[in-house]
Amino acid sequence: MKVAVLGAGAIGAYVGAALHRAEVEVHLIARGEHLQAIRRAGVRVLTPRGDFTAHPHATDDPTQVGPVDHVFLGLKANSYASAGPMIEPLLHGTTSIIAAQNGIPWWYFHGLKGPYEGYRIESVDPGGAVTTALPLHRAIGCVVYAATEIERPGVIRHLEGTRFSIGEPSGELSERCLAFSRAAVEGGLKCPVERDLRRDVWIKLMGNIAFNPISALARATMAGICRHDGTRELVVAMMRETVDVASRVGCDPGISIERRLRGAEKAGEHKTSTLQDLEKGKPLELDVLLAAVVELADLTGAEVPTLRAIHAVSDLLNENLVRAV
């Protein structure tokens, strides 16, 4: 098996290092000091499960890699539309694209029977640009239940969780999913192949849709948001509206809001990826989180006043951030 990791940051490099341990041919596509450090000394993973170092090939040029069996996308979703030129050299006839993203994926209604089958979510896939870059027939969904960070170039700190749930939009237990899962498990990850990955999408989103923008607006950790009575109530309201939208597009996350809150509290003084991006002056990954669910609320007639309000102020924050860059 040959795998390219496009966007070998904290999550991508961690997955690539694990796959390399399973003797998969891994190619990390990275840039800057992180790339140079990996070339010099490999990927060092610091983890409670036992530190290790992997030495996969690393480059900033996909043409040096050539066609692969799987492209694992570690990019932020707001980079997908422009990723086509980087992905094209990695593709052959049956290459899959495994997108490890937060929020609602561009493939969400692909192959989903019902009144919205084939609907393109404009806020996620503006003008079909993402579908053009990442063809739907290649898409494998991936929901990440792991927390990692780049401690320094070439060094990944694994904080918690090893689960990367994957699945076909069609719900099929395909051989391409099963093969990737076997390799990931051999490398030390949990990688269940789910028939209904959309349920995992909404479970993860229940937390992301509330904690990520609030953390950026309040400059607060997840535990800090939970401790404050006002923001805790705000999270509950946002989760409740999100579950309503999910049910209207035919999905029951199957987890209570209180249980989802308890899971977030366990993360402690953890900064969400959105807050980390804000502190680094990077654009915020909000469209697939908030804008997408507000769009689905408009599509289905759901009332989501809290989501609309938080979307408005966080979107303005992001616009100001982009202008400053």
Please check whether residue 255 is in contact with residue 247, taking contact to mean a CB–CB distance below 8 angstroms. no
25 pLDDT more than 70:
yes
Instruction: Tell me what the pLDDT averaged over the chain comes to.
Output: 95
Please check whether residue 235 is in contact with residue 226, taking contact to mean a CB–CB distance below 8 angstroms. yes
- 248: CATH: 1.10.1040.10
Q: How many H-runs (helices) and E-runs (strands) does the chain carry?
A: 12, 9
Q: What is the DSSP letter of 288?
A: I
- 184: CATH: 3.40.50.720
The residue assigned the tokens 């402690």 is 268
CA 280 – CA 278 distance, rounded (Å): 5
List, in order, residues 6 or more apart from 92 with CB less than 8 Å away.
67, 68
Hey, which bits of the chain come out as E strands?
2-6, 25-29, 43-46, 52-54, 57-59, 70-73, 96-100, 139-152, 155-167
Same domain, 203 and 306: yes
pTM for this prediction: 0.94
Residue that is last in its domain, among 171, 195, 219 = 195
* CB contact burial 130-139 (16+ within 10 A = b; e otherwise): bbebbebebb
Same domain, 171 and 320: no
Please count the structural domains in the chain: 2
CA 176 – CA 193 distance, rounded (Å): 10
Give the whole-number percent of the chain exceeding pLDDT 70. Answer: 100
325, two tokens: 């860059």
Can you give the residue range of the structural domain that contains 118? 2-195
Strands across the sheet with 70-73, in order? 52-54, 43-46, 155-167, 139-152, 96-100, 70-73, 2-6, 25-29, 57-59
Please check whether residue 140 is in contact with residue 99, taking contact to mean a CB–CB distance below 8 angstroms. yes
Question: What's at 7, amino acid-wise?
Answer: G
The residue assigned the tokens 């007639």 is 301
Q: What is the pLDDT of residue 64?
A: 97
Instruction: Write out the H or E segment, with its range, that includes residue 203.
Output: helix 197-218
Give the pLDDT confidence of 156-203 residue by residue, as tens digits: 999 889 999 999 999 999 999 999 999 999 999 999 999 999 999 999
The confidence band for 139, taking pLDDT boundaries of 50, 70 and 90, is very high
Same domain, 157 and 222: no
Facing residues of 148 across strands? 158
Same domain, 243 and 172: no
The confidence band for 224, taking pLDDT boundaries of 50, 70 and 90, is very high
323 pLDDT more than 80:
yes
Same domain, 224 and 299: yes
Same domain, 286 and 188: no
Residues carrying an active site annotation:
204
The residue assigned the tokens 């804000």 is 278
Question: What's at 178, amino acid-wise?
Answer: L
Q: What is the pLDDT of residue 160?
A: 87
Residue that is last in its domain, among 162, 195, 228 = 195
48 pLDDT more than 70:
yes
The confidence band for 324, taking pLDDT boundaries of 50, 70 and 90, is confident
Mean pLDDT over 142-160 rounds to 94
Same domain, 208 and 120: no
The residue assigned the tokens 């070339």 is 39
Same domain, 18 and 126: yes
Residue that is last in its domain, among 178, 195, 212 = 195
Same domain, 267 and 304: yes
Same domain, 138 and 163: yes
Same domain, 122 and 244: no
Same domain, 160 and 221: no
110, two tokens: 């692909």
Q: What is the pLDDT of residue 265?
A: 83
Mean pLDDT over 136-145 rounds to 97
Give the whole-number percent of the chain exceeding pLDDT 90. Answer: 92
